[in-house]
Structure 1
Amino acid sequence: MAGAGEEGCDEETLSKDLPSPTVTARVMRNGGTGMEKALSNQEDLGGDRGMTDDIFDESYCEKEGPKPAKRYVWRNIILMSLLHLGALYGLWLIPAAKPVTLAWGSLCFLMSALGITAGAHRLWSHRSYKAGLPLRIFLAIANSMAFQNDIYEWARDHRAHHKFSETDADPHNATRGFFFSHVGWLLMRKHPDVIEKGQKLDLADLKADKVVMFQRRFYKRSVVVMCFLFPTLVPWCFWGESLRNSFFLPTILRYVLVLNATWLVNSAAHMFGNRPYDRYISPRENRLVTFGALGEGFHNYHHTFPYDYSTSEFGWHYNFTTAFIDLMCLLGLASDRKKVSKETILARRIRTGDGSHKSG
C-alpha cells in the first residue's frame, strides 16, 4: 500500500544498488558459518546521503584471544526487575481502570513509541527524511517519554549496531543470545569494542542539531516530567482516576510495553522470520514485531536498505510510523523522504534473497 501524500511531498528515490557493480566481501557471521556474498555499492549510496556510518563495515575484525569478563550493572538489574514487576501489577489493575484511562495509556504508548521509531531511529539515526523544527521538538519530547537514553546516545548506539552488526562492536549483538540482545546488554557493561568503535563514529550531524543537544542537556529532567509525571497526572487530575491506576497503567505498564516492543526488534527480529532481501545476514522479517513496534519488524529489509525512511517496501502495511511520517510530510512538517526504487529492491531480492518474498 502506498503512503498518503507521496505526490504532494518531495521523495527521493535511491537506486544505486543495482547488480552490475559488485564486490566480494565477508558476510556477517550467521550460525558460525563463513560465507561470501556479492554486495552492492551501498557505500556510494551512503555517500549520497552524507553519511555511511549505518552501512556495515566489512573491514572490522574482532580481536583474538579470550573475551572480556562480564561486568554486571546491579543497579540496572534491580531497577529493571522492579519495573517489570510493576508492569505485571499494572496488568492486574486493568479491569479496575476507567476506559478513558486505558485510552490515555494507549495514546501515551503511541506517542512514546514514535519518539523512538520516527524520531531517534528513522530521523536521527539514519537521516532517512528531514523534519522541521516543530516536528523535531515534538519527537524529542516523545523520545523523553520513551526513556531509552537520549537521542544522541540512542542514535550513536544504533549506528554502531548497523556498522558492526552481530560483532563484538554491536551493542546488542544477537549472536550472544536472545536474552542478551533483548535486555541483557543493558544489564552489563559494554564490550570494549562497542565503546571504542562508538567513539569513532561521525556524529557531527547530531551535535549540530540544537534540539538533540538541548534534550541531551536536560534529559533527566525531561524524563521525570514526560515519562512519569505527565502520564500519571493527566488521568488523576482531569477525570478522577485513582493515583494508583494512573501511575501503574499509563506510566509503568505503558513504559514497559514500549521498552519490550523496541527490544524485540533487537532480539526476535534478528532470530525469527524469513530473509527475502538478504539471506546472508541475520535480521529477519517478523510480522509480530512489526505490529508491536509500529512498523519496525521489516528488519531484513531495513538492514539491507537502512536509508529507506519506511524501513519497508510496503508503505503503510503494518507500518504506523510510515503513515505518521507521510502525514507530517503532507502537513509540511517533513520532507525529503529517502525511498529505494522497486527495480533496486527486485534486483536485490533476486541476487541475495532467500526466495520467500511475498507481495505486500
Structure 2
Amino acid sequence: MYIWCRDHRLHHRYSDTDGDPHNSKRGMFYSHFGWLMTSRHPLCKKLRDTIDMSDLQQDRFVMFQYRHFRPLYFFLGFLLPIWLPMHFFQETFTNAVFVCFFLRYVYTMHVTACINSLAHKFGTRPYDKTIQPVESWFVSLLSLGEGWHNYHHAYPWDYKAAEIGMPLNSTASLIRLCASLGLAYDLKSVDPETLNKRIINKGDGTYEVKYLEEHVTAIGPLHPLNPSYRGTCPDPEIKLKVRMKP
C-alpha cells in the first residue's frame, strides 16, 4: 500500500511527464508494463523524495504491511489461494498453482496496467482536453469502474473516481457500502454546477451538459461519456511543472 500510494501520488502530480513513474508519453508498452521492467527515469527518482507520505507513515496498519510485505504476500497471496481449492474442492496442486495463483495474478496485473496505458490513450476527454487521461468504458468494465480516467485526473479527490455509478463503477458502490458500515467517511464528490462549467470550458465536446440534468447510468457497451475508443481531439502536449519542497 505504501509504495503504491507513493507512486500514485507521484503519477498525479507529474502525470504523463518524466516525473511520472508510468509516463504514457513514452509509449503504450512502457506505460503498461515496461516501467516495471526497467529503471525509473532519473527525474522520477529525484521527485519521488518530494512526495509527502507523513500521513501513511503514521498509520500503523499501513506500515505493518510495508515492513512485513514479503511474508504476508507469501501467505495471503500464494499459499492461501492454493491451499483453499485443494482443501475444500479437491483441486490438484498443479491446477491450484497455475489457475488460482499465476492466472489470477497475470489477469489482475494486466487489468490494472490497462488503467495506466489504455486509459491514457484510447477514449474521450469530456472534462479536460488539456490532460492525457481519457474515459474508457472498456477499461472500466475490466477494472470495476477505474476506467473513467479523464474525470479521475480532473477531480482526483472524488471518491467515485468517476461521475457515473453502476453498472460500470462497482468500486464506488463498495465504498458507499463501507461508509454505511462506518468503515469509510467524509466521502467527497463534485456538484453538477462545477461539472457543467468544466465541461463547457475545458471539455472536448463529447459530453453534452444536458446529461447532467438526470442521473447518468451506463447501459450496454456504449455510453454517452465514451461513444468510441477514439478521442475526438489530439493528444495534448504536457509540460512538467516541478514543485519541490521548500
For normalisation by structure 2, the TM-score amounts to: 0.83
CA RMSD between the two structures: 1.0
1:257 paired with 2:107, answer yes
Aligned to 1:31: none
**2:49 aligned residue (196, 199, 203):** 199
1:301 paired with 2:159, answer no
| Matches of 2:180 and 2:165, distance apart in 1 | 15
1:188 paired with 2:38, answer yes
Structure 1: give runs of 5+ residues left out of the alignment: 1-150
Deviation string 1:193-226 (CA, Å, 9 cap, x unpaired) is 1111110111111101111100001001111111
Aligned to 2:230: none
Q: Secondary structure at the match of 2:166?
A: coil
Deviation string 1:157-214 (CA, Å, 9 cap, x unpaired) is 1111110011111000000000000000000011111111110111111101111100
| Matches of 2:142 and 2:26, distance apart in 1 | 24
| Matches of 2:166 and 2:160, distance apart in 1 | 8
| Matches of 1:239 and 1:188, distance apart in 2 | 40
Q: Secondary structure at the match of 2:188?
A: strand
Q: Secondary structure at the match of 1:325?
A: helix
| Matches of 2:165 and 2:90, distance apart in 1 | 40
Counterpart code for 2:121:
M
Aligned to 1:339: 189
Runs of 4+ in 1 over 6 A off after TM superposition: none
Aligned to 1:273: 123
Structure 2: give runs of 5+ residues left out of the alignment: 217-246
Which runs of structure 2 are paired with 1:67-82 in the superposition (5 Å)?
none
Structure possessing the higher relative contact order (Cα contacts under 8 Å, 6 or more residues apart): 1
Query: Matched residue pairs, number?
Result: 210
Identity %: 44
1:357 paired with 2:207, answer yes
Counterpart code for 1:288:
F
| Matches of 2:171 and 2:108, distance apart in 1 | 14
Which runs of structure 2 are paired with 1:82-231 in the superposition (5 Å)?
151-231=1-81
| Matches of 1:165 and 1:313, distance apart in 2 | 21
1:235 paired with 2:85, answer yes
* Higher strand proportion: 1
How far off its partner does 1:315 sit? 2.4
Aligned to 1:137: none
Aligned to 1:316: 166
Give the direction of change, closer, same or farther, for the CA distance of 1:185–1:159 in structure 2 (3 Å limit).
same
Counterpart code for 1:173:
N
Q: Which moved more, 1:235-244 or 1:178-187?
A: 235-244
Deviation string 1:22-54 (CA, Å, 9 cap, x unpaired) is xxxxxxxxxxxxxxxxxxxxxxxxxxxxxxxxx
**1:348 aligned residue (198, 201, 206):** 198
| Matches of 1:262 and 1:340, distance apart in 2 | 25
| Matches of 1:229 and 1:346, distance apart in 2 | 50
For normalisation by structure 1, the TM-score amounts to: 0.57
